[in-house]
């Protein structure tokens, strides 16, 4: 590891500890990511974004801390937030390993425990981000209302305005989502990670899974499970079985995964193109 003076200096300002070495690492398609070796022996992870939107890193840090609140009770592990400012976020370093059956089962039980910590309602005190897109979180009384108004409508509007989805496809998605109250069983708000796809789960060498990059809010617990299934989490059957054993899911949950996947599919359509919009319409057709 060499030492990048500008990056090291910024980290030292926030941490109050000398940075011995830095090294660029893969950190997604939004932020620049750097591994830091500190003089106190710790290793840290810094992500930074020039001209970051307001509260971009603060929202992520708040989500990590909210999720970590349940870790002592067996909930999912998150990296410790070491420092946060408008332009960057510094976390403890998590060394990646390989998933095993026991680590997958442990993750399923931990996710169930985190969900069970609950939330004050469907939504969150502040808006956030999913990827680089704004994520509206103003609370609504029911999950069906929140899902339709805060998770589907904003992104469908963007796609319509940009001509990325056709009127027919948009109408199909809206019609399916309008049936949310009859599709999804009532449950109390769960404490959600909110963006729980495979890339945001780090498997470690000590048989744990650590979750990162949350878009946390209070919502229906099946949403996190649906996102895990959408992009192919390793050892997914073991995760789901352990979750269902720890916190049994309502009958038909597997058939509802597609309904909850409409949201991330529309987000991906906004970020990466219209093929995801067409896929969302195809999935929505099942619920009409």
Element housing 211 (H / E): strand 209-211
User: Strand (E) positions, 95-188?
Assistant: 128-130, 133-135
Among 107, 121, 92, which Cα is nearest to 191's? 121
CB-side exposure of 60: number of CA atoms within 13 Å?
33
Residue 235 to residue 5: CA distance in whole angstroms: 41
Alpha-carbon separation of residue 245 from 23, 75, 258 (angstroms): 42, 15, 22
Choosing from 69, 168, 195, 244, which is the catalytic residue? 195
For residue 195, indicate whether it is catalytic: yes
Residues 6+ apart with CB under 8 A from 2: 21, 22, 23
Residue 172 to residue 273: CA distance in whole angstroms: 18
With both helix axes pointing from N to C terminus, report the angle between 167-177 and 275-284 in degrees, rounded to the nearest 10: 40
Among 196, 214, 199, which Cα is nearest to 65's? 214
Q: Which residues are catalytic?
A: 195
């Amino acid at each position: 590891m060499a030492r990048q003076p500008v990056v090291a200096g910024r980290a030292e300002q926030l941490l109050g500890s000398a940075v011995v070495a830095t090294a660029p690492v893969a950190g997604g398609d939004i932020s620049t990511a750097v591994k830091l070796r500190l003089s106190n022996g710790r290793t840290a992870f810094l992500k930074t974004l020039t001209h970051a939107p307001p509260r971009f890193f603060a929202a992520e840090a708040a989500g990590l801390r909210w999720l970590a609140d349940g870790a002592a009770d067996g909930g999912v592990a998150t990296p410790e937030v070491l420092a946060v400012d408008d332009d960057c976020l510094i976390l403890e370093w998590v060394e990646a390993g390989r998933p095993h059956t026991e680590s997958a089962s442990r993750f399923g039980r931990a996710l169930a425990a985190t969900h069970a910590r609950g939330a004050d309602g469907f939504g969150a005190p502040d808006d956030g981000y999913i990827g680089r897109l704004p994520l509206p979180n103003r609370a609504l009384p029911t999950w069906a209302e929140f899902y339709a108004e805060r998770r589907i409508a904003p992104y469908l509007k963007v796609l319509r305005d940009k001509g990325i989805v056709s009127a027919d496809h948009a109408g199909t998605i809206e019609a399916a989502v309008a049936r949310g109250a009859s599709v999804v069983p009532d449950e109390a708000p769960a404490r959600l990670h909110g963006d729980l796809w495979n890339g945001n789960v780090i498997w470690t060498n000590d048989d744990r899974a650590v979750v990162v990059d949350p878009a946390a809010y209070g919502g229906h617990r099946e949403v996190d499970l649906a996102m895990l299934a959408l992009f192919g989490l390793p050892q997914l059957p073991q995760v789901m079985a352990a979750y269902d054993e720890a916190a049994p899911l309502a009958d038909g949950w597997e058939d509802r995964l597609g309904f909850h996947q409409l949201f991330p599919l529309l987000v991906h359509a906004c970020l990466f193109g219209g093929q995801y919009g067409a896929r969302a319409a195809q999935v929505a057709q099942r619920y009409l």
